[in-house]
Amino acid sequence: MQERSPGFKLLLTGLVGFVLMIPLLMVYGLVSDRQHQARVAQDAITAGSGGAQVVSGPVLVIPYEEQRVTNETVNGIAATRTQTIRKQLFLSPDRHSIETELQPERKKKALYETVIYLAKMDGEARFVLPSDLSRFGVTREQLLLDETQIRFGTSDPRGLRAVADVRVGGKRIELEPGEGVRSSGGAGFSGTIDWSDGGPLPVEYAYTIRGSRSLTLVPRGGQTDWNVSSTWQHPGFGGSFLPDSSDISSEGFAASWSIGNLALGQSMVTQEDLPPVRDLGTGGDPAYDRMEDRQVGTSKSATISMVEPADIYSQVDRSVKYGFLFIGFTFLAFLLFDVVGGARVAAAEYLLTGAGLVLFFVLLLAFAEVVGFALAYVVASAAIIGLLTAYSAAVLGGWKRAGFIGVLLSILYAGLYVLLSLEAASLIVGSVTMFFALAGVMYATRNVEWSRVGQNEEAPEA
């Protein structure tokens, strides 16, 4: 067989590597598909427990009557008609403080697992009837204070547990489902009170709600203080407001928000309820970009997410993106043994080696769903390193060269695991490593004549 030039071998190796990008992309699609199936399974687990919860309230809804005079012509005769129209005022609390205890719980179904929680909400609020009602075109005499309604909003009322306890002026009131707060999706519960005296109104409440993934509070009023504690060790904070203080440790976290009316940019009294956080019909997930709350039709909020630190699909997804490096470095080692060391590596042998490298990611995904990412990584990398080391002994003509391939693969897999663990510093570490690897290849091939056909019989080993 005619000997090919080193340049032609480099081109052939590159073509085989490019062909292997196709199965690598297929593995990438497989990860995405399994991640979607996991989300569907998690939704099935949390179906009866409530989704991502959005809570709001209390809010007082005060009906009032307005006289409207209209001029009409009946049978050619001008007449004046007076109509009584019933409208509503929405009054936010002057002060509102909430203590929340989040109790996380893991739920598992087959291979899939998710986190749900019980949120114990204990709050106190105070309502004060404003003295400047005239700017809303309303007088106190028009208000039907004896028909005042107090409302609480929950985006998914299926999560409500036991009976909510709401006390107005120290007296417990009867509650009914529905008639919630629009800013949390319109669902919730409410009760009717007699506020005929119109004096400062203290409200105390307690209820427990079950949800999953996240808990969002829609603050409203003069001053809102929200204190949250939980044993969950990996919280995520989002929405329009980040906590003023937070303490995260191995035992859990505690966070506090203090949100004033000026930050909310909302009036204490409105003639329409506030708009929702976002379209809660799209999956019930209240997480949204901060820029959205600047748009018309959204309310501001504070969100706590139950972050899963060991999301195996995101970790496998990140590792697949480094797959071309595994193929490139391994093929480069084979090429150096071929060009510099005198071994003979055929295109089919490159292809089979590349197939083994791609198979690593399939094994990683399959085992990670059963035993977790870390152990799956050890099992999958050990299997592929053993397989390719043994195969390299036959391809490269000796265990000494095969041992080099084994060490190279071990360094690659160990390096990838470090990169996946570094998160923020992974880019700079990876780029510096690539620099030194490229420098090493340049040094090893500095004397290669890429256009020369044929090799010296006494070629040095790589």
Give pLDDT tens digits for 271-320.
888 777 764 433 334 333 333 333 334 678 899 988 776 678 888 888 88
Q: What is the mean pLDDT of residues 260-277?
A: 83
Residue 454 — φ and ψ, nearest 5°? 95, 155
- What does the alpha-carbon distance between residue 146 and residue 93 come to, in Å, rounded to a whole number? 18
Q: What is the pLDDT of residues 220-242, one digit of tens each?
A: 888 999 999 999 988 889 888 99
For the chain, the C-alpha Rg in angstroms (whole number) is 33
Closest CA to 181 of 211, 147, 214, 216: 216
- What does the alpha-carbon distance between residue 201 and residue 193 come to, in Å, rounded to a whole number? 11
Q: What is the pLDDT of residues 338-397, one digit of tens each?
A: 776 667 778 888 888 888 888 998 999 889 888 888 899 999 999 999 998 898 888 887
Closest CA to 55 of 122, 147, 131: 122
Say what the pLDDT of residue 450 is: 64
Q: Which SS3 state, helix, strand or coil, does residue 254 take?
A: strand
Say what the pLDDT of residue 430 is: 74
- Strand 188-193 and strand 176-177: the pairing is antiparallel
Instruction: Return the bridge partners of 304, or none.
Output: 215, 237
- What does the alpha-carbon distance between residue 182 and residue 428 come to, in Å, rounded to a whole number? 47
- What does the alpha-carbon distance between residue 27 and residue 315 come to, in Å, rounded to a whole number? 14
- What does the alpha-carbon distance between residue 389 and residue 405 come to, in Å, rounded to a whole number? 6
Q: Which SS3 state, helix, strand or coil, does residue 297 take?
A: coil
Say what the pLDDT of residue 127 is: 93
Question: Length of the chain in residues, anyone?
Answer: 462
Q: What is the pLDDT of residues 170-208, one digit of tens each?
A: 899 998 887 778 777 778 899 999 998 888 999 999 999
